[in-house]
Amino acid sequence: AAFLHRLIEKHDVADTEFLVDAGGYLTALARHELSGQLDYQIRNHIEKWFQTVTMRIDRFHSFWRGSQTSAKQWLRRFRHHYNHERPNQALDGQTPAEQIQN
């Protein structure tokens, strides 16, 4: 609510539609007579990615016996594999890199 208050003071947002993930934002928007719409689609892709990374880090932490340098190298390889080689169901079989390039 405080953020919206400051935003309204500095900018004309009367015709702006805010995409929010609930969490009280819709109530705050309504109090300022602003329009809001719930949109979980983009957020869900990001949260799924973080869930995957967190799961891999947990496994990595439990079983890794290598050096810090080799861990960094593994993480770089994972990032490359995830973004450039691994087809993603949510992207109709494309990789994230292919999705962005198209």
What is the pLDDT, as a whole number, of residue 55? 86
Q: Tell me: the pLDDT tens digits for 14-64?
A: 888 777 766 677 778 888 888 776 666 666 677 777 888 888 888 877 777
Are 25 and 36 within 8 A, CB to CB?
yes
Q: Is the pLDDT of residue 72 over 70?
A: yes
Q: What is the mean pLDDT of residues 78-98?
A: 90
CA distance 60 to 66: 10
Of the listed ranges 4-13, 20-29, 78-87, 93-102, the least confidently predicted one is 20-29
The answer to whether 46 and 67 are in contact (CB under 8 A) is no
Start-to-end Cα distance in the chain: 38
0.75 exceeded by the pTM? no
